[in-house]
A and B are shown apart, each in its own frame.
Chain A
Amino acid sequence: MLIKNQTFNLVLFSLCLITTIYLVYPFVTILIFIDSPSFVNSIGRPAVINAFLLSASTATISTLLLAVFGIPLGYFLARFHDLQGISILRLIVFLPLVLPPLASGALLLGAYGPLSPIMKMLPIPDVTQSISGIVIAQAYVASPFMILASEMAFKSYDESFERVSRVLGKTRLQTFTQVSIPLAKNGIIIGSIISWVRAVGELGATMMLAYNPHTISIQIFEDNAIGGLSRAIPDIFFSIVLSITALIAFCFYSIRSRNGSYLKVN
């Protein structure tokens, strides 16, 4: 029995080690491609800085838009789970997650491109090759993370808290803002961070809808195509900075959420 356990531990340890090396290895090898003088010079290139700022700002805007439109949908899915057809709605929410990003981009191009019926009807400026196009693409692919994380967050506490609030004289809107949102806060923040990270990393859909101006992902793609990996390293560096910032925030709120067993005090 002991031998069997040891064998299991050995296999488990080996597999874990291989996976970890697989995850870390690209970060180590990239150092080989760093040419210090050119790295210092190219990190200050306006195109790189602009791409970095554009990604950070558009991801923030798309996350805020998702918060306004996605959180209510997450609440709806959590509270009306008995409603007929709710599973279909949930499948619709999952769609951007399962579609290849390029396919999503193609769909968005059809929907919001110059040839789309809605853009022909409404006096809206063309969103392709614009910041609006980037935001639309980012929000589309990141939406499942915000909506599903909100749904989970609203399901994580007893609905009776909301009932108590209503009995105490609060309207549904007051209850939503004063009770539901604060109780679901940590889950919503985690959803927002994941959505933001997904928006920052978005490439496929953005490429189809708004190749220009360049986001950091498109900049990496283009620099690599033009000058190889060493030219793309500053872009990669910035994208790593963005991702690690988000990762730290995610860990912070995950721990807080886990320790926040205060939802169970009652």
Chain B
Amino acid sequence: MNGLELVNLNKVFPGFTLGPLNLRVKHEVRVILGPTGSGKTTILNIISGLSKPDSGSIILDGVNITNQPLERRKIGYIFQKPFLFPHLGVYDNVIFGHREHESAGESEIRELLKDLGIWHLCDRRIQGLSGGEMQKISLARMLITKPKIMLMDEPLSNLDDQFKKKLRSDLRRVLKERNIPTIYVTHFKQDVYALADTISILYKGRVVYDDTLEAALKIQQPFTFPFRSDIFIAEGNYIEGVVTYCKKGITRFKYYTQILEILGEYHVGSRVGILIRPEDIILSRQILKTSARNLLHVKIVHIEKPIESTGTVNVYMMLEQRLHLVAKITDEARLELGIKDGDEIFVIFKASAPQVVREGYSV
């Protein structure tokens, strides 16, 4: 099998046991989520060879690498901090792991550095670079070794929010263009939306959930998910589609038969993923003529009991039998609308309401 396979992997620490763990990572970005101390980093350390498992096997591209020294595994590992070698300049850092005949060629390295927007930094020293630049250099340094799998341990956690957004988009594009199987450990919701193809949730050393992002997002109704993570609730509704129109700061994208409108300019043909907060959604019995640019016809699947402290209720709806949406309205509004399970209603939200959390990668 191409990609990575963990078979009955097990490691015992005093007071904590990781595994037995079975996991497959093909040519995808697999995001591993889990609370602190659930064993996320330990998994990466074991795969990379920095730590040894007590039992089980690590199969990479069909080869058992469990007992291989880490320098021969051909694995890329990006840590929380970039750990650029301070005694070397930018370019020497990038080519530190370069091997004749195995790593990227000179022109390939140049293209990669240009692609990541760090070519102009080649002659610079490490000192004085921004955190985002350093993490990009650290990524380039790993990529030029042509790793068989990329491991990433919260690489954006120490960066400013403005860098994070740009870097997420660059990361996904670079990884997908090179078709590198990736395991990305995080506890940031934005990382999941921006990067994940598949999701694994780790809890007390075991994988308790393992599926695609799309499937994971369908479990918006918390009662269907016994190990629900904060990641899937309260943040909002995730919708992803292909951009069909972009002009004068307005972008339209298609989600199955629906056309949605958002602010911002994104390339036609690329994919965007948006997040809409439940409190930004307006429910209506009829089609209303308003200034809001988005109107969807949905069916109510479940209305939660009102939350006494806030006086609000969560209304769960389904769009085209595919997409789960949740809206937060006051209990008074629910009573006035007279809505109940099974009713068909309209969801309205402004073009400025969604937050674009995934962008740039075209299918």
B contacts with A: majority SS: loop
Residue A15 lies at the interface, judged by CB distance under 8 Å to chain B: no
Interface size on B, as a range, is 20 to 34
Is the beta-carbon distance between B76 and A167 smaller than 8 angstroms? yes
Is the beta-carbon distance between B87 and A167 smaller than 8 angstroms? no
Chain A residues lying within 8 Å of B83, measured Cβ to Cβ, are 158, 160-161, 163-164, 266
Is the beta-carbon distance between A263 and B48 smaller than 8 angstroms? no
Partner of B96, one of A158, A160, A165, A265: A165
Other contacts beyond A166-B71, A266-B86: 8, CB < 8 A? A164-B79, A164-B85, A167-B48, A170-B96, A178-B96, A182-B87, A183-B86, A266-B84
Residue A12 lies at the interface, judged by CB distance under 8 Å to chain B: no
Chain B residues lying within 8 Å of A26, measured Cβ to Cβ, are none
A:141-194 near B, CB below 8 Å = 158, 160-161, 163-171, 178-179, 182-183, 185
Residue A80 lies at the interface, judged by CB distance under 8 Å to chain B: no
Is the beta-carbon distance between B71 and A171 smaller than 8 angstroms? yes
Is the beta-carbon distance between A167 and B86 smaller than 8 angstroms? no
How far apart are the CA atoms of A164 and B77 in the complex, in Å? 8
Chain A residues lying within 8 Å of B71, measured Cβ to Cβ, are 166-171
Number of A positions contacting B (CB below 8 A): 21
Chain B: CB-nearest residue to A158: B83
How far apart are the CA atoms of A167 and B96 in the complex, in Å? 11
Residues of chain A having any CB pair with chain B under 8 Å: 158, 160-161, 163-171, 178-179, 182-183, 185, 262-263, 265-266
Chain A residues lying within 8 Å of B127, measured Cβ to Cβ, are 262, 265
Is the beta-carbon distance between A266 and B97 smaller than 8 angstroms? no
Is the beta-carbon distance between B97 and A168 smaller than 8 angstroms? yes
Residue B186 lies at the interface, judged by CB distance under 8 Å to chain A: no
Chain A residues lying within 8 Å of B84, measured Cβ to Cβ, are 265-266
Chain A residues lying within 8 Å of B142, measured Cβ to Cβ, are 167-168
Chain A residues lying within 8 Å of B145, measured Cβ to Cβ, are 168-169
A-B contact pairs, 26 of them (CB 8 A): A160-B83, A161-B85, A163-B79, A163-B83, A164-B77, A164-B83, A165-B85, A165-B96, A166-B71, A167-B49, A167-B70, A169-B71, A169-B72, A169-B99, A169-B145, A170-B97, A171-B71, A179-B85, A182-B85, A183-B86, A183-B87, A262-B127, A265-B129, A265-B134, A266-B82, A266-B84
Chain A: CB-nearest residue to B72: A169
Chain B residues lying within 8 Å of A160, measured Cβ to Cβ, are 79, 81, 83
How far apart are the CA atoms of A161 and B88 in the complex, in Å? 12
Query: 8 nearest interchain CB pairs?
Result: A168-B97, A262-B86, A182-B87, A167-B77, A164-B83, A169-B71, A169-B97, A266-B81
Chain A residues lying within 8 Å of B77, measured Cβ to Cβ, are 163-164, 167
Chain A: CB-nearest residue to B102: A169
Residue B75 lies at the interface, judged by CB distance under 8 Å to chain A: yes
Residues of chain B having any CB pair with chain A under 8 Å: 48-50, 69-72, 74-77, 79, 81-87, 96-97, 99, 126-127, 129, 134, 141-142, 145
Q: How far is the CB of B247 from chain A (nearest CB, A)?
A: 43
Chain B: CB-nearest residue to A178: B96
How far apart are the CA atoms of A178 and B48 in the complex, in Å? 21
Partner of A168, one of B96, B126, B129: B96
Q: How far is the CB of A79 from chain B (nearest CB, A)?
A: 14
How far apart are the CA atoms of A170 and B72 in the complex, in Å? 9
Chain B residues lying within 8 Å of A179, measured Cβ to Cβ, are 85
Q: How far is the CB of B94 from chain A (nearest CB, A)?
A: 11
How far apart are the CA atoms of A265 and B93 in the complex, in Å? 14
Is the beta-carbon distance between B86 and A265 smaller than 8 angstroms? yes
Q: How far is the CB of B136 from chain A (nearest CB, A)?
A: 14
Chain B residues lying within 8 Å of A161, measured Cβ to Cβ, are 83, 85
Is the beta-carbon distance between A266 and B87 smaller than 8 angstroms? no
How far apart are the CA atoms of A163 and B71 in the complex, in Å? 10
Q: How far is the CB of A149 from chain B (nearest CB, A)?
A: 18
Partner of A262, one of B50, B81, B126: B126
How far apart are the CA atoms of A169 and B75 in the complex, in Å? 9
Chain A residues lying within 8 Å of B79, measured Cβ to Cβ, are 160, 163-164
Chain A residues lying within 8 Å of B74, measured Cβ to Cβ, are 169
Chain B residues lying within 8 Å of A164, measured Cβ to Cβ, are 77, 79, 83, 85
Chain A: CB-nearest residue to B144: A168
Is the beta-carbon distance between A263 and B86 smaller than 8 angstroms? yes
Most A Cβ at <10 Å: residue of B48, B81, B82, B142: B81
Most B Cβ at <10 Å: residue of A168, A169, A185, A263: A168
Q: How far is the CB of A160 from chain B (nearest CB, A)?
A: 5
